[in-house]
Chains A and B, each alone.
Chain A
Amino acid sequence: SAVISQKPSRDICQRGTSLTIQCQVDSQVTMMFWYRQQPGQSLTLIATANQGSEATYESGFVIDKFPISRPNLTFSTLTVSNMSPEDSSIYLCSVGGGGNEQFFGPGTRLTVL
Chain B
Amino acid sequence: KQEVTQIPAALSVPEGENLVLNCSFTDSAIYNLQWFRQDPGKGLTSLLLIQSSQREQTSGRLNASLDKSSGRSTLYIAASQPGDSATYLCAVDNYGQNFVFGPGTRLSVLP
A interface residue numbers (CB < 8 A to B): 1, 6, 33, 41-45, 48, 90, 92, 94, 97-99, 101-107, 109
Contacts and interface: CB of A to CB of B under 8 A. Distances in A.
Contact of A90 (B41, B49, B51, B93): B41
Interface in B77-109: 89, 91, 93, 98-104
A107 B99 contact: no
A103 B43 CA distance: 10
Closest 7 CB pairs of A and B: A99-B31, A104-B44, A106-B43, A107-B43, A43-B101, A101-B49, A104-B43
Interface in B30-48: 31-32, 34, 36, 41-46
B46 A102 contact: yes
Contacts of B99: 33, 45, 97, 102
Nearest to A107: B43
A38 to B, nearest CB: 12
Contacts of B43: 6, 92, 104-107
A102 B94 CA distance: 13
B31 to A, nearest CB: 4
Contact of A99 (B32, B44, B45, B46): B32
Nearest to B48: A101
6 contacts: A43-B91, A48-B98, A98-B31, A103-B46, A107-B42, A107-B43
Interface in B3-60: 31-32, 34, 36, 41-46, 49, 51
